[in-house]
Structures are given as structure tokens and as C-alpha cells.
Amino acid sequence: MTIEGTTSARELVFALLAPYAAGGPRRAAKFLLQSGRRGLEEMTSELPYEERLAAAEMAERLHAEGVGVLFCDDPAYPDRLRRAPGAPPVLYHRGPIELLDRPSIGVCGSRSAGSAGLRAARACGEDAAALGVVVVSGYAKGVDTEAHIAALSAGGGSVAVLAEGILDFRLKSAYRDLPDQVLEQLLVVSQFPPSQRWTAGAAMTRNQVIVGLGDAVVAVEAGETGGTLRAGKAALQGGKRLWVLGFPGEDPPGTRALLAAGGSRIESRAALAARLHDLVGEPRSQSLFD
């Protein structure tokens, strides 16, 4: 995978320290959007020397590995994510950052999906790629992996949103047979400190970014509890279109719940393709920075 980092070491230091100086990621985002960087930069300069030194050392490592960072007050930060509840103050990234400026769908689904769910995930990836729609998903096994690989194999782009720090990213075995030029269209992003390990709580938090980055969200085999159900509800609460895939037989409990909450049932590949086609034809909403 080609990695191109253009972020300076100084910006990386600020990204590492800003959430701590502000008292948490949400407060850091609020500072950046309402007051600009100067005040927050002054706050980071007042942190203990040891913390600033550790951040400088980490920034050097990130810079050497081609990791970039995108701040929520940057015009290049996706406006659909910036408007979402809980938008992270920074996104660490590796790969083609321009994918964030294209129409996209968030794909959420079970790690243990059945054969019908996995086929549906592949269809999502293939049909999205055919229309130039980027697939955003969580890089977990099951639905996420099928959607990512299908989109990439069909010549499209895909965004893997991590539930851990970006330095923990490793290319999983399912992706290793893909040609290098295909993997060049995989963008990896993380909102977490670069060396943070995976946790269940981080996976739930990560789903907010998947929802925020999507112009629409596709739910595949939502269970009675879990991340897919919560992501679908978050999409509806945020005013996003939620497309709930239906299959022959009885719907899973989470699928029924999302449909009852206002999700749109998609029962065929043709219906999904039609929704994707409509998505591509829509004008993009005006940015807060326009």
C-alpha cells in the first residue's frame, strides 16, 4: 500500500497533545471549531515537559511512517463528519486521503454474518465501486472485510476506520492476495491515540465515524444488540439515510428494530444499485467553510 504523509512533525505534536490539553477529544473539537488553534496551542505549550517530549518522539515516528493528520477545523476535513455528533478533533490517516471527498456509504454488519449477509456485503462493495462511491467500514471480519475487498477488487476505493491506534494497523491475511495497485486505494483512518489497543468501547466509538463519513449507511444483519444496531440508530438520529438489507426468511431482531425506527428496507441488488445511483446524482451539501 502506498503511504503518503504530508503532515509536518509540528502538526503531529499538536494533534497528540490537543485532546489532553483541552480535557478530552470533544472539548478539543469545540475549541478548534469555535476558537481556532491559537488558544489550544498555547494550552499544549503549558503541558508538562515530559508529555511534550513524549509527543515529539511519537510525532517523529508517525512522520517517518508516513502518517498524516486531519484536524476538524481544516476545510479538507469531511463536512459530513464535522457536522456529526461526537466528531473527532483529529483523524490520523495513511493512504489516499482524497477518498474522503467522494460520495460514500458506511457499511456496518455482523462479524459472524451468514452466507446471504456476506454475499450482500460483496454486492454493496461491487456496486458502489462501479458508481465511484467509496465504501467506509470498520476493518473487522465478516461484513466489513467482504465490503472492503469487494470494493477494492472492483476498482473502487475503500476507507478502513480503525477501533485502535493507527500504529496497530496490520494488513490482514484476507487482503494479502490483492495487488499493490489495488491496495493503494485503501485509506486507513483512526481517531484514537496512535498506539492505543483495540477495545470493545473503542469499536462502538469508531462506528460514529463510519456513520459520519457516509452519505448513507447500509446495515447488514443487525443483531439484537451490538455495533450494527447502534450504528443504524445513530444514522437515523443524525438524519442520515439508513438502508437496511432484507433477506428471505425472518429478519434478525436488530433488522426489525431498525426498520421500525425508520430505516428503508432494501430487498434486492437492483434496489440497492438504484439508491446508489441516486446518491451519486445528488449535489453535495455546502461546506461550513464555503
CB atoms < 10 A from the CB of 186, how many? 24
Contacts of 63 (CB under 8 A, 6+ apart): 5, 7, 8, 9, 12
pLDDT for 225 equals 77
pLDDT for 290 equals 54
C-alpha distances (whole Å) from 113 to each of 140, 159, 216, 253, 258 are 12, 20, 21, 14, 17
The stretch 256-273 carries a mean pLDDT of 93
Type of residue found at 263: G
Q: How many domains does the chain have?
A: 1
pLDDT for 4 equals 40
Domain-located, residue 216? yes
Strand 158-161 to strand 264-266: parallel, antiparallel, or no bridges (unpaired)?
A: unpaired
- Band of residue 86 on the pLDDT scale cut at 50, 70, 90: confident
* Range of weakest confidence among 94-98, 107-111, 143-147: 107-111
Kindly tell me if the per-residue pLDDT of 113 is higher than 90. no
Domain of 154?
Answer: 97-281
Domain-located, residue 238? yes
Domain-located, residue 48? no
Rama region for 77: left / alpha / beta (φ>0; ψ in -120 to 50; rest) = beta
Residues 33, 95: Cα–Cα separation, whole Å = 25
Tell me if 52 sits within 8 A of 229, measured CB to CB.
Answer: no
pLDDT for 288 equals 54
Kindly tell me if the per-residue pLDDT of 265 is higher than 70. yes
pLDDT for 289 equals 52
Residue 210, domain CATH: 3.40.50.450
C-alpha distances (whole Å) from 215 to each of 133, 136, 153 are 10, 10, 22
Across the strands, what pairs with 189?
Answer: 93, 161
Domain-located, residue 241? yes
- The helix/strand/coil state of 252 is coil
Tell me if 73 sits within 8 A of 36, measured CB to CB.
Answer: yes
pLDDT in tens, 185-203: 999 999 999 999 999 999 9
pLDDT for 33 equals 92
* Range of weakest confidence among 64-73, 105-114, 221-230: 221-230
pLDDT in tens, 229-253: 999 999 999 999 999 998 877 788 8
- Band of residue 9 on the pLDDT scale cut at 50, 70, 90: confident
Domain-located, residue 28? no
Domain-located, residue 253? yes
Domain-located, residue 14? no
Q: What percent of the chain is helix, strand and coil (3-state, nearest 5)? A: 50, 15, 35
pLDDT in tens, 30-53: 999 998 889 999 999 999 999 999
Domain-located, residue 185? yes
pLDDT in tens, 145-186: 999 999 999 999 999 999 999 999 999 999 999 999 999 999
C-alpha distances (whole Å) from 67 to each of 2, 62, 70 are 11, 5, 10
Residue 54 has φ and ψ, to the nearest 5°, of -60, -40
C-alpha distances (whole Å) from 157 to each of 69, 116, 186, 257, 283 are 19, 23, 6, 31, 20
